[in-house]
Structure 1
Amino acid sequence: MEVQRQGKPQFFPDQLHDWMGLVPATEGKAAALLFPTVTPDREPTLTDSGRTVEPGDFFSAATQDRYPDVFGLLPEPRPTDDLRARLTQLPHQALTLNHDSAASTTVLERAVSLVL
């Protein structure tokens, strides 16, 4: 049995611009939320999972894994309750995608049209 591993690229913010020509955003506005799940053996479809914004959806100094806080110098995580409450009020849609990019694109476009 062959084991496949997936590596995640890690960039410093300045490398995003230098390597890929991307300028990191300093702010943003959310109009709706999508909660996709990739399941290779299922057909792409909209789902009613009841999924909402959860505490695990936020990155913080406590959850990032680039550098372990061996000296205890990272700041305390900031509360996300207010942001989570605001995001929960936005229109949202769960969906299942698979590795068929054409079929997944169709479902993704449909999901966007429903929430915007």
Structure 2
Amino acid sequence: MRNSSSGDAERDQLEHVTIHGHRRAFVRRGSGPALLLLHGLGCDHTTWNPVIDALARRFTVIAPDLLGHGASDKPRADYSVGGYANGMRDLLTVLGVPRATVVGHSLGGGVAMQFAYQYP
């Protein structure tokens, strides 16, 4: 499902899925092996705007807004690094992505490390 509430190109590319009752926002572009880009604390998927187009030439880039950030829901939930790793596993599962390279910035780097530990 696409968010069509805004005419601006960036917002038109924002997709949403509901996982465990919470709406998650993400951008998905390109084709090829999956590349999951995780932003830092207090940021959102737009952290990756300077590199998404170049990466999308070779990869299917998935840049989510972590729960509690950007256009994703902000519920009372598990905001631990492990909780975020679980959420990213669930997002990839819902999107039908069996494996991905995970790259993170700041907090997203911690989530990426936890993801690799939990889901080698």
Question: TM-score normalised by the shorter chain: which range applies?
Answer: under 0.3
Query: Which structure shows the higher helix fraction?
Result: 2
What's the TM-score once normalised by structure 1's chain length?
A: 0.24
Q: Which structure is larger by alpha-carbon Rg, 1 or 2?
A: 1
What's the TM-score once normalised by structure 2's chain length?
A: 0.24
Higher relative contact order (CA 8 A, sep 6+): 1
